[in-house]
């Protein structure tokens, strides 16, 4: 029996190259339909959802960015257990179907954790458990949870974890990419505090990876993205819950240099008291119709006013235009300030650079951003922020104590500044212009930082554009080590061929 593409070719309606493409597309569509039907037959109708159903649309609408919510897969596997993920992987890989994996869906660029039909989406949002060990030293977290509910669940136990600074950020992607926390100056990345991963491998096996079982995989998963396995549970260190002091302060944009200098002094104090988190954010606010600057503050020690005043003294000396700082508050309230400033459901992209501590490059990036977005401000929903976040040497020392990272950072790098250029807009028609402006800023910042000898090569995967060279930034030795781990646990490169999204080795 002739295929549809063959028939068109014989009648002269398709060029040979186009016929091959159509035939390939048809094979993918047929394979995807077969995969979805088999998945539904084996996992059940409530676990495999199709476009048009309420359950399917509810999951798609829960992505953080509008770009991800617009992508419609062939079907969606709503996994409720590691076994569901294992069964799905066996069916999907046997059928040769392309797929994506979503934990909570906070990455912003289209296709980061979603896939267009005929691809199949594996959704881990229902894997959102929070379980505390009997001795309250370890917390087991499902990848589909978000940090607000995690903190709520841990409060009655009087413990916390190295988690996100937004209530809506997901557990899985946050830890998988490293994870910056207000606890990072004392305890490093969130990934430094993982004691065990439960992982589904490319052949569908469910294994544990820790310091004694699959230790190479355990190390690799701290920089593995979508290459080594699908993590279905994170077991992480717990720490005593302490009162929080913090909030935000706004400033006149002309005070930018002063507040940035004050942040540098704050960074230099962290080795004596690594209990504070903060950032300086320059940008354009649609609400204010003007450029703005604000600082975020978090102090995690006991409610010792003298201590936190000393740690943040220079930053607190700069006169604010508004002040939301509270004493004796909690992480959820601190995170809510971020959630109000950076809401979901809009068109959004992140981009990143890592810099040595230098005020002039930060000022330059602000000015370049102001110019690059000048023709776009005033369009519906357009805002941008350049957030400068410290990576203290105490953070990198904690990472080293935990066994190091394959991401290419060490205490020898000294104090660093992480840039997150966060842009938001509403209209799809503005996509190209916004993306061009972002790349203009990042390209300028890269060249200028190199010229000033203040560029660090590392790129933070959770903030990176899809075409930023994340793995190249880890260094050849780390990439070679990760490839060796990948070849051991996925010798057929199944995930490389079929798992779309994330960053690939």
348 closest CA partner among 463, 223, 484, 505? 463
111 phi/psi in degrees, rounded to 5: 95, 0
- What six digits make up the tokens of 386? 């350049």
Give the pair of three-digit tokens for residue 485: 């781990």
Dist. CA 339–CA 316, nearest whole Å = 23
Backbone φ and ψ for 360, nearest 5 degrees, come out as -65, -35
CA distance linking residue 192 with residue 215, whole number of Å: 14
Q: CA gyration radius for the chain?
A: 23
Domains and CATH numbers, the chain: 4-123 (3.30.43.10), 130-240+477-498 (3.30.465.10), 244-468 (3.40.462.20)
Alpha carbon distance, N-terminus to C-terminus of the chain:
41
* Residues 6+ positions from 408 with CB-CB distance below 8 Å: 457, 458, 473, 474, 475, 478
Locate tokens 């957030």: which residue?
Answer: 387
- pLDDT on residue 11: 42
pLDDT of 273 = 87
Q: 276 - beta bridge partners?
A: 299
- Report the run of H or E that residue 376 belongs to, with start and end: none
3-state secondary structure of 95: coil
> How far apart are alpha carbons 278 and 296 in whole angstroms?
5
Tokens of 220: 């690799």
DSSP 3-state assignment of 2? Answer: coil
Would you give the DSSP letter of residue 103?
S
Q: How far is CA 334 from CA 154, 219, 423, in A?
A: 16, 31, 22
Question: 167 Cβ partners below 8 Å, 6+ apart?
Answer: 146, 147, 148, 149, 151, 332, 335, 336, 339
Q: For tokens 């010229």, name the residue.
A: 451
Question: What pLDDT does 244 receive?
Answer: 87
Nearest CA to 126 out of 179, 40, 47 is that of 47
Provide the pLDDT for residue 308. Answer: 65
Write the DSSP string, 29-65. Answer: HHHHHHHHHHHHHHH-TTTEE-TTSHHHHHHHHTSSB
Q: Is the peptide bond before 199 cis (omega within 30 degrees of 0)?
A: no
Question: Token pair of 19, please?
Answer: 């016929």
Mean pLDDT split into 10-residue runs, the chain, 505 residues: 39 48 75 97 96 96 97 98 98 98 96 98 98 98 98 97 97 97 96 98 98 98 96 98 90 93 93 90 89 92 61 90 90 93 95 97 97 95 96 97 96 98 97 98 98 98 98 98 98 98 97
DSSP track, 199-213: EE-TTS-EEEESSSS
**CB 361, CB 449: distance < 8 Å:** yes
């Amino acid at each position: 029996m002739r295929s549809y593409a063959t028939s068109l070719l014989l009648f002269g309606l398709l060029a040979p190259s186009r016929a091959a493409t159509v035939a390939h597309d048809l094979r993918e569509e047929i394979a995807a339909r077969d995969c979805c039907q088999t998945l539904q037959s084996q996992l059940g109708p409530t676990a495999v959802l199709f476009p048009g159903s309420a359950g399917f649309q509810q999951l798609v609408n829960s992505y953080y960015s509008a770009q991800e919510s617009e992508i419609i897969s062939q079907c969606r596997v709503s996994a409720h257990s590691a076994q569901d993920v294992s069964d799905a992987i066996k069916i999907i890989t046997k059928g040769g179907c392309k797929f994506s994996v979503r934990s909570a869906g906070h990455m912003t660029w289209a296709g980061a954790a979603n896939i267009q039909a005929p691809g199949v989406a594996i959704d881990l949002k229902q894997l959102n458990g929070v379980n505390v060990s009997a001795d309250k030293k370890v917390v087991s977290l499902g990848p589909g949870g978000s940090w607000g509910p995690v903190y709520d669940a841990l409060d009655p136990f009087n413990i916390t974890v190295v988690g996100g600074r937004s209530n809506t950020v997901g557990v899985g992607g946050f830890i998988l990419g490293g994870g910056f926390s207000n606890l990072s100056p004392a305890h490093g990345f969130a990934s430094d505090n993982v004691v065990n991963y439960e992982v589904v491998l490319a052949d569908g096996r469910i294994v544990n990876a820790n310091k004694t079982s699959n230790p190479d995989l355990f190390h690799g998963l701290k920089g593995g993205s979508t290459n080594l396995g699908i993590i279905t549970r994170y077991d992480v260190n717990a720490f005593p819950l302490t009162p929080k002091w913090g909030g935000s302060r706004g400033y006149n944009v002309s005070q930018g240099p002063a507040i940035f200098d004050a942040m540098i002094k704050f960074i230099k104090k962290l080795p004596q008291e690594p209990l504070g988190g903060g950032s300086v954010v320059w940008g354009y606010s649609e609400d204010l119709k003007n450029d703005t600057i604000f600082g975020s503050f978090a102090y995690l020690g006991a409610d010792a006013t003298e201590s936190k005043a000393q740690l943040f003294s220079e930053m607190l000396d700069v006169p604010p235009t508004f002040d939301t700082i509270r004493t004796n508050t909690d992480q959820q309230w601190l995170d809510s300030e971020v959630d109000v400033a950076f809401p979901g459901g809009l068109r959004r992209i992140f981009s990143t650079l890592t810099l040595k501590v230098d005020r002039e490059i930060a000022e330059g990036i602000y000015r370049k951003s102001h110019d690059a977005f000048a023709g776009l401000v005033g369009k519906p929903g357009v805002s941008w922020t350049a957030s400068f976040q410290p990576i203290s040497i105490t953070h990198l020392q904690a990472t080293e104590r935990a066994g190091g990272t394959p991401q290419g950072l060490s205490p020898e790098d000294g104090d660093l500044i992480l840039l997150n250029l966060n842009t938001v807009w509403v209209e799809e028609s503005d996509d190209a212009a916004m993306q061009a402006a972002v790349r203009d800023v990042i390209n300028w910042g890269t060249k200028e930082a190199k010229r000033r000898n203040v560029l660090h090569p590392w790129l933070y995967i959770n903030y990176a554009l899809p075409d930023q060279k994340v793995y190249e930034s880890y260094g050849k030795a780390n990439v070679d080590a990760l490839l060796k781990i990948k070849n051991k646990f996925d010798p057929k490169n199944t995930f490389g061929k079929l798992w779309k999204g994330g960053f690939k080795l």
